[in-house]
Chains A and B, each alone.
Chain A
Amino acid sequence: MGSTPRASPSLQCLTGDTNNAMRTYVIQRLLLAIPTLFGITVLIFVAMRVLPGDPLKTIYFEGGGARILSEEEYLEARKNLGLDRPLYIQYADWMIDVFRGDMGRSFWHQKPIRETIQRRGTITVEYALLAVILSWVVGLPVGLIAAVWRNSWVDYVVRFFVTLFMAIPSFWLGLTVILITVLVWSWRPPLGIVHLWDNPVQNMQIILGPAIVIGVAMGAILARMARATLLEVFREDYVRTARSKGLAERLVVVRHALRNAILPVLTISGLQLAALLGGSVAVERAFSVPGLGFALVKGIQERDWVIVQNVVLLYGVVFVFINLAIDLAYGFLDPRIRYG
């Protein structure tokens, strides 16, 4: 997660009427997203077809009593799934499915992909959002405390735990948590998907585990980031001015420093969220949560091209929009930035 071109010159042009410029900027960004998304679809479309391993042979081997198709049967089954048509037609077909909204059907279970994405996606979005919220709730105050009392023992303790939690593999932590709950209390979170609106308690039991494990790791990164930026901001002129003006330290921190320090934190959080929505596969597996990441990995393993294509495309769309949202948020929080 390196620095993205936040500082690219086009952002900092100070000309033009704000509203208008903003609209142009958004449109410009969306137009720029089109080649990216196109690139993603082509890349994944080709990648799935280049991968060794044929979905058909796979399907019939698994379910049909470990049986292998004859050449003739194989060609028939291929035709049945429309895989005998030229590639560009298959691609166009997929695009039509995407724009129609059902995204095609899975080779394996014949269900529309939209259904899978809705069901799985809900869980993933839930724990991702919860993890981000958690990381803010934990990370920001901790970073703030460490920055205000820098080089005190509080700071050292905070930094120690921050560094530690950044280093612990989250899936390992998750696995250990599950093992402990199973061994000590003979309890584990419900398997399968229970939606928030069906049974909030069970739903929370499912998503709380991944949310906490990921949230803690993200919170550590956030705390570190917050501390670093706050320290930088404290050195800035306007903070010094505010202090010399005799403003209470609390007000200095909240009104001036925090407001400025929040931008990089926001960026990191946004990027983390985008990455999380793609599904934190290992954590999902550790908790046996059937989220989007799980579906995607299974799709790759089963060579269920349709689901992989759509989830990756969805991921690309989310990524583009979150990035755009971050940039727009900059405009609201930092009056120095204009869009033109």
Chain B
Amino acid sequence: MREVGDVAADRGVLSPLLRTWNTVFGVSQRFTRTSPPGAAAAAVLIFMGLVAIFAYQLAPYDPLDTSALHFQKPPSRERLLGSDHVGRDALSRIIVGTRTSLYVAFVSVALAKIVGFSWGVLSGYLGGKVDLISQRFLDVLLSFPGVILALLLLAGLGAGLYTVIIAIAFTGIAGTTRVIRSVVLSVREMAYVEGARALGASQLRIMVRHVAPQCIAPLMVVASASLGGAIFAEAALSFLGLGIPPPHPSLGNMLGGVLGDVFKPPWWLVIYPGVTITIAILAFNIFGDGLRDHLDPKLRGRLD
């Protein structure tokens, strides 16, 4: 658990680093111009990301350390956000919980998008019978309520960090596939693809070199929009008692875990995790909008 989401430090040489910096700087400058709220959201997300990466260094207490002296104590100077039912420091748990939740969101969305992307490209490009069968299969998947799909998967796999990730990822595959497929359908007929085909390029080469790159921008937009959804899904599953297993904190199980089963929950345990989760979803949503405006304003109508 501790190592979850660790990002190895980047050890590049100086000049590529500078070049990267310039690119990043340029992109962010342009991004800030097209979408100021998006840029603000990005700043919030970067802050949250840093908090997540250095969670264990930043947390003032061990997030798993229970203490009989601190059972349900309101915020104080010593413990800024109070402590929970078993005396664990709420601030430390929110910090480490942010790390877990972001990790779950990123990994599950990445998984869902990779699978959905490949499926969409294959199905859209190959067409014919493959497409027909895969379409029917998608119909079946899409007509399952997402939460039921997740519940079934969790009931089958048992609760755990990775099972939650898989369950959330699974619910996101069908939607992505549909979007990517529709993009592929239009790209497939474009002149340069026809040209490549006429030049005798192999199917695989066309798919990888010519069709897939065209789908990256829509994919990024769909992905950024899904991240907020993944955070929400994790919270909802935790609320139903099927989220990240205790004692490890996540924003979801702080918000959902005890809340549903307590008559008068301490306000600091309702407000702070709830606000953190709302901020995270808000930031992802706004950033996603900004990214879409930035990458392809025309996508707007199609993806809503």
Chain A interfacial positions (CB closer than 8 Å to B) = 1-5, 7, 35-36, 39-40, 43, 47, 50-53, 163-164, 166-169, 171-172, 175-176, 179, 182-183, 224-225, 228-229, 232, 264, 268, 275, 278-279, 281-282, 285-286, 293, 296-297, 300-301, 312, 315-316, 319-320
Closest CB in chain A relative to B304 CB, distance in Å: 5
Contact of A40 among B140, B146, B155, B256 (CB under 8 A): B140
Cβ-defined contact, A301 with B282, below 8 A? no
The interface-forming segment of B26-34, B53-61, B258-266 is B258-266
- Shortest distance from the beta carbon of B31 to any chain A beta carbon, whole Å: 18
Give the Cβ gap from B275 to chain A, nearest Cβ, in Å. 10
Contact B144 A315 (CB under 8 A): yes
Option from A4, A169, A316 in Cβ contact (under 8 Å) with B255: A169
Task: State which of B140, B145, B222, B264 has its C-beta within 8 Å of the C-beta of A278.
Answer: B145
Q: Are B301 and A35 in contact (CB under 8 A)?
A: no
Please determine whether B179 and A171 come into contact, CB atoms closer than 8 angstroms. no
Contact check, A163 vs B286: say whether CB atoms are below 8 A apart. yes
Asked whether A224 lies within 8 Å of B304 as measured between CB atoms, the reply is yes
Contact B300 A297 (CB under 8 A): no
A selection of 5 A-B contacts at a CB cut-off of 8 Å is A53-B155, A167-B279, A300-B152, A301-B155, A315-B145
The listed residue (A43, A268, A293) touching B140 by CB distance below 8 A is: A43
Counting contact residues on chain B (CB < 8 A from A), the size range is 35 or more
Q: Is the CB of A300 within 8 A of B304?
A: no
Query: Which chain B residues numbered 137 to 186 have a C-beta less than 8 Å away from chain A?
Result: 137, 139-140, 142-148, 151-152, 155-156, 158, 175-176, 178-179, 182
Instruction: Using A50-B156, A51-B155, A179-B265 as known contacts, say yes or no to A36 and B143 having CB atoms under 8 A apart.
Output: yes
Is the CB–CB distance between B264 and A229 below 8 Å? no
Query: Do the beta carbons of A40 and B182 come within 8 Å of each other?
Result: no
Chain A at the B interface: SS class = helix
The answer to whether B144 touches A3, judged by C-beta atoms less than 8 angstroms apart, is no
Chain B positions near chain A (C-beta within 8 angstroms) = 136-137, 139-140, 142-148, 151-152, 155-156, 158, 175-176, 178-179, 182, 222, 228, 232, 235-236, 239-240, 255-256, 259-260, 263-265, 270, 274, 277-279, 281-282, 285-286, 300-304
Q: B115 → chain A, closest Cβ, in Å?
A: 14
Report the bound CA distance from A43 to B155 in whole Å. Answer: 15
Taking A164-B278, A229-B301 as given, write out 16 further A-B residue pairs in contact, using a Cβ cutoff of 8 Å, ordered by the A residue number: A2-B175, A5-B182, A36-B136, A47-B152, A169-B281, A172-B239, A172-B259, A175-B260, A183-B264, A225-B304, A228-B301, A278-B147, A279-B145, A281-B151, A282-B240, A300-B155
Is A39 a contact of B140 with CB atoms below 8 Å?
A: yes
Q: Which residue of A has the minimal Cβ distance to B158?
A: A52
Contact across chains for B301 and A275 when beta carbons are under 8 A apart: no
Please give me the residue from chain A that is nearest to B265 by CB atom. A179
Query: When the two chains form their complex, are residues A172 and B235 in contact, meaning their CB atoms are under 8 A apart?
Result: yes
Please name all residues of chain B whose beta carbon is closer than 8 Å to the beta carbon of A264 when the two chains form the complex. 301, 304
